[in-house]
Amino acid sequence: MVQPVRNRRDELYEEYLAVPSHLRAEIIGGTLYVAPRPAPKHANASSRLVGKLDGPFQHGGGGPGGWWILFEPELQLEPKVPVVPDVAGWRVERMPELPDTACFTLAPDWACEILSRSTEKIDRDEKLPYYAHHGVRHVWLLDPIDKRLEVYSLDDSGAWRAVRIYQGDVAVRAAPFDAIELDLTALWSPPRRG
């Protein structure tokens, strides 16, 4: 009698589905990564970044509009291979409406990973090649502890090139959101007291 052979991708996906909801899981390069939810400085940086980009790029207030900017969207650019960027964006011209599915099968135009000591190696060594392979044109690596933003763009050969590295409390114009000036101080400074 012929026994069915289980696909490793299916097994990994079943393990992924069994991860408790209070943890964050994704499958990258054939490995299931499970991590706790982001630490406060990490969560603050991603929240503030989305706050700064949402008005001018998603809603068109003070900027060109034309984007979907989302927290932790689940990408399944390959079936049963979920990858979760901290923040991602799609140009409305490529994705006129949000899908009705729980995940996205269309690669984003931009992804941002908020670096932490526990995830930085995965973000650099696993996710950057994954994003390049799937044609994500722009990636930002944002480090709220070292107060650094690294901006990468995909060249025509499919390789990343570091466009700029910004450090500290500076205002920047960074692709693909260079239509506005982004004050990095707002991403890692405490809120002003009223």
Contact criterion met (CB below 8 Å) for 112 and 85: yes
Q: d(Cα 184, Cα 161) in Å, to the nearest integer?
A: 21
| 111 backbone dihedrals φ, ψ, rounded to 5° | -135, 145
Q: Check residue 39 and give its pLDDT.
A: 85
Domains by residue range for the chain, with CATH: 37-188 (3.90.1570.10)
Q: At 87, which amino acid appears?
A: V
3-class state of residue 148 by DSSP = strand
Task: Look up residue 107 and give its DSSP letter.
Answer: P
Q: d(Cα 163, Cα 175) in Å, to the nearest integer?
A: 9
Q: Check residue 42 and give its pLDDT.
A: 87
Q: Which residues of the chain have pLDDT under 50?
A: 2, 5
Q: d(Cα 157, Cα 24) in Å, to the nearest integer?
A: 32
Q: Check residue 172 and give its pLDDT.
A: 95
The H or E element that residue 183 is part of is strand 182-183
Q: Check residue 68 and give its pLDDT.
A: 97
Q: Which of 40, 38, 12, 39 is nearest to 26 (CA)?
A: 12
3-class state of residue 115 by DSSP = coil
Sign of CA pseudo-dihedral 130, 36, 81, 32: positive
